[in-house]
Amino acid sequence: MYGNKDKLLLRLRYGYVLGCETKMKEQTEIGKIKEGRYIVVDDEPCKVVGLATSKPGKHGAAKARIDAVGIFDGVKRSIVQPVSAKTYVPVVERKSGQVISIAGDMAQLMDMKDYSNFEITIPADKKGQLEVGKEIMYIESMGKRKLD
């Protein structure tokens, strides 16, 4: 029905592949975003740490300033947009995986739901805590993964 090139184009355009139930991101209004939720800023999933809204002026709409920190890179980003503007919210999933092997600062995990294997970097604070065969939690969003 769809070739590999068509599936890739659909994934790039809509953020998902036909036949796959997980979406990469959803659209919502800026005014509905709350602190502690997630938002996409500069094509990077971020957690909202600060939110300030201004009153509508005589000739303009209310504006919202959102301060967010990247989930995967830790970079602080901020955006200012009208409250009625649309933005994307990433689908952030917390999943469970079993450690298959550890080599330096990389660990190979197997997802406990779909049994897929992948490699993930081990943060400095979790280096001594991982053991082969142990089940750990990780975060997945927009094609990126990180230990929780």
The verdict on 50 and 69 lying in the same domain is: yes
Q: What is the pLDDT of residues 59-87, one digit of tens each?
A: 888 999 999 999 999 999 999 999 999 99
Distance separating alpha carbons of residues 127 and 133, to the nearest angstrom: 15
Exposure letters 26-36 (e unless 16+ CB within 10 A, then b): eeeebeebeee
The verdict on 124 and 65 lying in the same domain is: no
Instruction: Enumerate the β-bridge partners of residue 38.
Output: 47
pTM of the full structure: 0.74
Helix (H, G, I), strand (E, B) or coil at 138: strand
Q: What is the pLDDT of residues 27-67, one digit of tens each?
A: 999 989 999 999 999 999 999 999 999 988 888 889 999 99
Task: Judge whether 57 lies within some domain.
Answer: yes
Q: How many domains does the chain divide into?
A: 2
The verdict on 43 and 70 lying in the same domain is: yes
